[in-house]
Amino acid sequence: MTLDRGRRGSCVSLIDLARARERFLQDHPTARGRSATSSRLIATELGSRRRGRELTTLAKMSRIFTTSVASVYPHYVTKVERKGRSQAELDEVICWLTGFDENELETHLAEGTTFEDFFAAATLNPNASSITGVVCGIRVENIEDPLMQKIRYLDKLVDELAKGKSMEKVLRH
């Protein structure tokens, strides 16, 4: 099955950015610490993928499954803090979705748990199925792969938090 990355082709998720940064730093170890240079090159790489309207197969998408949650978490924090929300609110949203408490979340982040293992250990909130909408041009309720759907649920909740929705609405109370 092949999924289009989006009609507009302009949406890049935080997960894509984290993966691109990890790849870039592996390929260019001397760039570590030169954030402006590496950020420009990563943006160029992502921009060329968007312009090419690359179709992504589920096999390629599964690379996110082996990415650690800890590598993406700082990007989530940056996104919500830039929009005036707090890390505590982000943690509350993640705990609501996964059923983890603060200590369990911290343990997963410290251990570098992959998204696959992170959601395998989670007890998804019963109201998670009420999360609807579009993330990067794909409706989260229509995603067939259960793990990818959970990852996109998390992306959608972070987006809603960053957009300034009240915690009651984000947490589906």
pLDDT at 138: 87
Please tell me which residue, 36 or 146, carries the higher pLDDT value.
Answer: 146
- Taking the CA atoms of residue 72, residue 87, residue 102 and residue 165 in that order, the dihedral angle to the nearest 10 degrees is -100
Residue 85 has pLDDT above 80, yes or no: yes
Please tell me which residue, 142 or 53, carries the higher pLDDT value.
Answer: 142
Note whether residue 152 is domain-resident: yes
Note whether residue 74 is domain-resident: yes
Q: Exposed e or buried b for every residue in 57-82, given b needs 16+ CB within 10 A?
A: eeeebeebbebbbbbbbebbbebbee
Rounded-to-integer distance, Cα 21 and Cα 42, Å = 6
Note whether residue 124 is domain-resident: yes
Q: Which helix (H) or strand (E) holds 3?
A: strand 2-4
Burial of 120 (C-beta count, 10 Å sphere; 0-12/13-18/19+): exposed
The whole-number average pLDDT for the span 85-101 is 95
Note whether residue 173 is domain-resident: no
Please tell me which residue, 16 or 105, carries the higher pLDDT value.
Answer: 105
Residue 115 has pLDDT above 70, yes or no: yes
Residue 69 has pLDDT above 90, yes or no: yes
- CATH (domain of 51): 1.10.8.290
Note whether residue 61 is domain-resident: yes
Note whether residue 168 is domain-resident: no
Note whether residue 172 is domain-resident: no
- What is the domain extent for residue 74? 2-163
Domain count, the chain: 1
The whole-number average pLDDT for the span 64-90 is 93
Residue 28 has pLDDT above 80, yes or no: no
Burial of 104 (C-beta count, 10 Å sphere; 0-12/13-18/19+): middle
pLDDT at 10: 45
Give 25's pLDDT tier (boundaries 50, 70, 90): low
Which residues partner with 114 through β-bridges?
Answer: 68
DSSP state, residue 129: G
Q: Which helix (H) or strand (E) holds 77?
A: helix 69-82
The whole-number average pLDDT for the span 159-171 is 90
